[in-house]
Amino acid sequence: MIIAPEFSHGGFVISTAHPLGCFKNVDVQIDAVLGLPGYAGPKRALVLGASSGYGLATAISLIFGAGADVIGIALARGPVSGETSTGSADYWNCRRLQQRAAEQGRTFTLVPVDVFSDSARQRIIDLVRSDAGGPLDAVIYSIASSRRIDPKTGQTWYSTLKGMRRIEGPTINMENGQLQTQVLEPATTEELEATVKVMGGEDWQLWIEALNAAGVLSPRCKTTAYTYIGPPLMHDIYTLGALGHAKRHLEKTADTLHDLLSGRGGEAVSSSMKAIVSKASIFIPTYPVYGSVLFKVMKQLGSHESTIEHTHRLLSTMLFGTAREVDPQRRLRPDSREMAGAVQDKVSAMMPLVTQHNLTELTDFEFFRQEFLQTSGFAFGGIDYGQDVDVPGLAGI
């Protein structure tokens, strides 16, 4: 099978995945960690949402930077025998990480279940109890979802990107590179509530309370949930909008969980991460233009970090280190380089100047688009994308 990127949803989704490119994606991140200082971290960790973006980078850093064994939860869809599906990038990322972890004498155990379900929590509890590896020293929550089924009521909640007022902003079609205007009408009260249910801290709290009650957390277990604050020019979404409401709920949940764990030496904290190209963030109005400008500016100033470099710095120097950057809300702030005044002043000045004609000159859109393609295993050097790929053979089916 020759695999090419197939775009859908107006150029914001790639429905195919290239297995060899996904393998390369994982290998590149592992090589980056192996070239950075290691750290004394957890020996056994659970990563909720471990198949891409910050979750995948977290699992890689923990395994290859701290020597941890990691359990990862992700709905990673593999290829099906007799069908032409390539399987998801999540599946191939996790498959490669399992292989590379085993080569290092470590384990990455993928549990492909719905992270929001009570059955998922029980499955992890049973897994930890039955394994000789001991209790969990860390639980990392890295979930970005558009829907959640409430395990108590069975109701399905859907998140929204809407704000409290009408939002109109530029975006970029990833398939053809065309600037477009994206409009979001104001969120309703019901939409705000639903977004908090999906993207807030309720599920994180259910996980920590269940694991703690079952006795599978070590006394000094640390847990963090990833969040994003964003610059002033995106506050209509990340501060004032539905996502902002959800993020504040998540951050308050960190305080609740810290009260639960801190008495015996544990910790719960939220971590505000930098802007990256992910399958979720690409849908946010203004974000593709902002990210394209931001990457150019941060490269010029020498402060740009890849996803794995940023994640490894958070884990090694802040969550499990002593060089912490903490704000008054007790959030870890590895995003301080993105939010630095010198960076944001330049980005704010450049954003209004971007047009279709100067997009590639004023921004680093080509790099942004390359990062987007690489989330599905495309646009990596050293891979012949015209070569036939034995998908069933690589999947072992």
Active site residues: 238
Rounded to 5, what percent of the chain is helix, strand, coil?
Answer: 45, 15, 40
Instruction: List the one residue out of 226, 64, 9 whose CA is nearest residue 139.
Output: 226
φ/ψ of residue 44, rounded to 5 = -145, 125
For residue 13, what are the β-bridge partners? 8
Query: Which residues, including other chains, have CB under 8 Å from residue 375's CB and lie 6 or more apart?
Result: 14, 25, 52, 53, 89, 277, 278, 279
Strands 156-158, 217-227: pairing is unpaired
H helices then E strands: how many in the chain?
15, 12
CA 53 and chain centroid, separation: 4
The two tokens of residue 303 are 């402060």
Q: Which helix (H) or strand (E) holds 213?
A: helix 202-213
Strands 167-172, 147-149: pairing is unpaired
Q: How far is CA 131 from CA 98, 126, 207, in A?
A: 17, 9, 19
Strands 156-158, 147-149: pairing is antiparallel
CA–CA gap between residue 153 and residue 150 (Å, rounded): 6
CA–CA gap between residue 116 and residue 27 (Å, rounded): 29
∠ at Cα 55 (11, 274), nearest 5°?
Answer: 70
CA–CA gap between residue 237 and residue 92 (Å, rounded): 32
The two tokens of residue 55 are 């979750």
Instruction: List the one residue out of 250, 237, 231 whose CA is nearest residue 337.
Output: 231
CA–CA gap between residue 98 and residue 104 (Å, rounded): 10
Residues 389, 20: contact at Cβ < 8 Å? Answer: yes
